[in-house]
Amino acid sequence: MNHENPKRLGTVVCRNESPNVRGFSFVIEGESGNTLVRRGQFVSVPFQSGIVIARVSEIIQTNRYFQQAEAVREYQLRGEPLRSVFPTDRWQYAVAEAQVLGFWVNEKSARATTSVSPGAVVRTIDDDILHRFLGLEGDEGLNLGTLVHHAINFSPSVDSLLSKHLAVLAMSGAGKSYFVSVLLEEILSRKRDEGRLATIVIDVHGEYSYLKHVTAKDLGLEEDAFEIEHIRGTHIQIPASSLSADTIASFVAKMSSVQRRELRRIISIMSNESNSYNLRGIIDVIRNDQTINKNTKEALIGWLINLEDTHLFGKEGVPYLPNIVRPGKITVVDLSDFISLKKKQIIVSYLVGDLIYKRRQSMIPPFLLVLEEAHQFCPESRHELALPKSKIETIAREGRKFFALLCLISQRPVKLSTTVLSQCSNQAVLKCTNPYDLEHIGRSSEGIDRASLDAITTLDVGEALFIGNSVTVPTFVNIRKRKFNPSGTETTLSDAIRRADKS
Ligand SMILES: Nc1ncnc2c1ncn2[C@@H]1O[C@H](COP(=O)(O)OP(=O)(O)OP(=O)(O)O)[C@@H](O)[C@H]1O
Ligand SMILES: [Mg+2]
């Protein structure tokens, strides 16, 4: 951390009804002034018994010689650039606009209640004060990166980052999965005495299967304390006995109320007799039932045969969750073998339901469920088919009470259920340019301000804005590099075609 004396950056000026309680502008020191101060940087202004802490939201270059378009054009026409006639460089300067975040008085943060004065000197901020002002924790937390423009580690604790759900939102290619890989590395690096989290990753595109190659040495750990299991979606088996008539009805379109009633009756007979049967068993009972009318019988059998053909259902549940949800273990459920969204939804719906049930019964430890492409499983729109939606909403609403936690990742925040998004007390937002997505993020996260929202469009790959419990004000972070880099993942089209041509 930087503990040098705060450097002078500029002087507060009167401009556009500022300085006021919310913000101020300052002329940046130096000739053209643009090297000293950066957008997003935190600054301080000494004030009474403490300091005002602000963040630069905009930098405007100005030069009085270039204010009159007509004059500039006139000199252009004459073939004499203004620069050759007037000392234009001397009049070049920059004004920064800063948004006030609060006061720091008597080693404590306080709400801003009055404005800085014109003429006040703006300075850099002591890293230690900034660290405390932002409510950042010590370095023993999850080491995710460093604050943009400041040499300060961003290491939130599991409590502040994960205990009330996390949403990772950004456009495609902005670095969501990369950030999640870094988060998973940190989760794996936790020591037994710190408490290790059980993690399940629903990996829609097979992006995390590389994790099975990660060793303790790769992460710089002495002890091989963690375990990683990779499960292919095709190995998952959903017990037919877990399916209610309503669940089966949700898998098929347009089941009539009569058909549903009959199916309910059959399933209740079966579950009274045994708690282990497969779809074939249900089909046989329906076939031999004398009371169901012929059309209903045929329709039900037809649907059940179709479901059987998906090969997703069996007698027993596989895997048995208490075997895979364990402290210090990451289980990657790789759904990349499935093309059908519906099959993926059926599996996610079953897993989420089983996770909630077994966690409530204390059959599994507290866990983190990482869900890629969350908008496909939990969409906002009621018109889209989404089997797992109500279960994910249940975890979002109630899971924090029994530590069933979510990390939801989405490249289309606007399509993600608002109920779920507003329950995520932490959000990591990477670059996002779609105005609808930005508006949705703005609406669903308290505490995000206009300036931060605007800055999201200009973020670089790997830069994230953290909003929520882990920080007192929205904070920009450079996500650190991964310790383990999977080999053989092509990042560019040219890499991919070169490799394809070689083989
Ligand atoms: N913090 C980072 N440091 C270095 N490289 C990064 C970082 N974040 C992302 N990248 C690179 O940017 C590329 C895109 O990242 P990533 O796959 O994580 O995007 P994504 O947001 O998950 O995209 P999609 O929505 O398409 O899944 C990758 O090639 C990755 O290596
Ligand atoms: Mg991704």
Which ligand sits closest to the CA of 490? 1
| Ligand 1 mean position, distance from CA 149 (Å) | 21
Based on the domain organization, do 207 and 294 belong to the same domain? no
Within a domain: 70: yes
Within a domain: 322: no
Q: pLDDT tens digits, residue range 273-288?
A: 888 999 999 999 999 9
Q: How many domains does the chain have?
A: 3
Contact 16, 126 (CB under 8 A): no
The bridge status of strand 367-371 relative to strand 198-203 is parallel
Within a domain: 150: no
| Ligand 1 mean position, distance from CA 210 (Å) | 15
Atom of ligand 1 nearest to the CA of 489: 29
State the residue range of the domain holding 248.
238-314
173 lines ligand 1 (CB under 6 A): yes
Residue nearest atom 26 of ligand 1, based on CA coordinates: 172
Report whether pLDDT(446) > 80: no
pLDDT reported for residue 55: 96
* Cross-strand partners of 371: 202, 408
Domain boundary among the residues 255, 287, 314 is at 314
Based on the domain organization, do 246 and 296 belong to the same domain? yes
Based on the domain organization, do 19 and 126 belong to the same domain? yes
Based on the domain organization, do 255 and 307 belong to the same domain? yes
Within a domain: 358: yes
Report whether pLDDT(34) > 60: no
Percent of the chain with pLDDT over 70: 97
491 lines ligand 1 (CB under 6 A): yes
Which ligand sits closest to the CA of 183? 1
Based on the domain organization, do 305 and 339 belong to the same domain? no
pLDDT band at 103 (very low <50, low <70, confident <90, very high): very high
8 lines ligand 1 (CB under 6 A): no
Atom of ligand 1 nearest to the CA of 411: 25
| Ligand 1 mean position, distance from CA 108 (Å) | 37
Based on the domain organization, do 26 and 84 belong to the same domain? yes
Write out the two tokens for 482.
Answer: 């991964």
Within a domain: 274: yes
Within a domain: 465: yes
For residues 161-171, give the mean pLDDT. 96
Within a domain: 319: no
> What mean pLDDT, rounded, does the chain reach?
92
Q: pLDDT tens digits, residue range 228-252?
A: 999 999 999 999 999 999 889 888 8
CA distance 312 to 242: 12
Report whether pLDDT(33) > 80: no
- Backbone CA torsion sign across 12, 13, 14, 17: negative
Residue 463's nearest CA partner among 28, 89, 9, 147 is 147
Report whether pLDDT(416) > 70: yes
pLDDT reported for residue 275: 85
Report whether pLDDT(490) > 70: no
Q: pLDDT tens digits, residue range 268-324?
A: 999 998 889 999 999 999 999 999 999 999 999 999 999 999 999 999 999 999 999
Largest CA distance in the chain: 103
Report whether pLDDT(417) > 70: yes
Based on the domain organization, do 209 and 338 belong to the same domain? yes
| Ligand 2 mean position, distance from CA 161 (Å) | 20
Atom of ligand 1 nearest to the CA of 480: 1
Q: Tell me how crowded residue 151 is: count the other CB atoms within 10 A of its CB.
A: 9
Atom of ligand 1 nearest to the CA of 479: 1
Q: Tell me how crowded residue 304 is: count the other CB atoms within 10 A of its CB.
A: 22
71 lines ligand 1 (CB under 6 A): no
pLDDT band at 341 (very low <50, low <70, confident <90, very high): very high
182 lines ligand 1 (CB under 6 A): no
Report whether pLDDT(503) > 80: no
Based on the domain organization, do 162 and 91 belong to the same domain? no
